[in-house]
């Protein structure tokens, strides 16, 4: 498991949403927006067990999360963090997690959606295999010479 560098943790601590990419059964990509938190060296988010991403992860644990930064690097490229990993789907609900996400993204102390207490809610934990993208979380000199 890859450790999360401080600049990546800083971006993950903002209200920037993540785009979660999973693989449909036919091999095509599926993407959805998720609210994320860092717990230890994992990325976590909540969803419903019936969501396409949860169904996909039950069949294939590979996941890619992409988070766009608001800054550009010195060459004008939009900074973005890409997390390649494997996900574990745990049965929920987890009201505390959902409330933390609502506070981070909406400033609310209680998550406004039924997913907070839903018996079909799940928690997705992403174990990081590799970090890439454009930004201080990767060696940009290495990318330029690759």
Q: Please, what are the domains in the chain? A: 6-145 (2.30.110.10)
- Average pLDDT taken over every residue of the chain: 91
**pLDDT tens readout for residues 2-46:** 789 999 999 999 999 999 999 999 999 999 999 999 998 999 999
pLDDT of amino acid 142: 44
Model confidence at 80: pLDDT above 90: yes
pTM of the predicted structure, to 2 decimals? 0.90
Here the tokens at position 1 are 């498991």
More confident residue, 59 or 72: 59
Q: Are 128 and 2 in contact (CB under 8 A)?
A: yes
- The secondary element (H helix, E strand) that includes residue 143 is helix 140-145
**Range 75-90 average pLDDT:** 94
């Amino acid at each position: 498991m890859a450790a999360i560098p401080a600049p990546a943790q800083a971006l993950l601590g903002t209200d920037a949403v993540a785009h979660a990419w999973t693989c449909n059964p036919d091999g095509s990509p599926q993407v959805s927006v998720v609210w994320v938190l860092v717990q230890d060296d994992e990325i976590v988010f909540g969803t419903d067990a019936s969501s396409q991403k949860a169904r996909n992860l039950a069949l294939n644990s590979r996941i890619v999360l992409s988070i766009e930064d608001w800054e550009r690097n010195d060459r004008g490229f939009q900074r973005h963090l890409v997390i390649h990993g494997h996900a574990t789907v745990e049965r929920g609900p987890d009201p505390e997690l959902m409330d933390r996400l609502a506070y981070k993204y909406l400033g609310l102390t209680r998550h406004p959606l039924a997913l907070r207490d839903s018996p079909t809610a799940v928690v997705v934990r992403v174990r990081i295999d590799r970090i890439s993208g454009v930004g201080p979380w990767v060696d940009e000199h290495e990318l330029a010479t690759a």
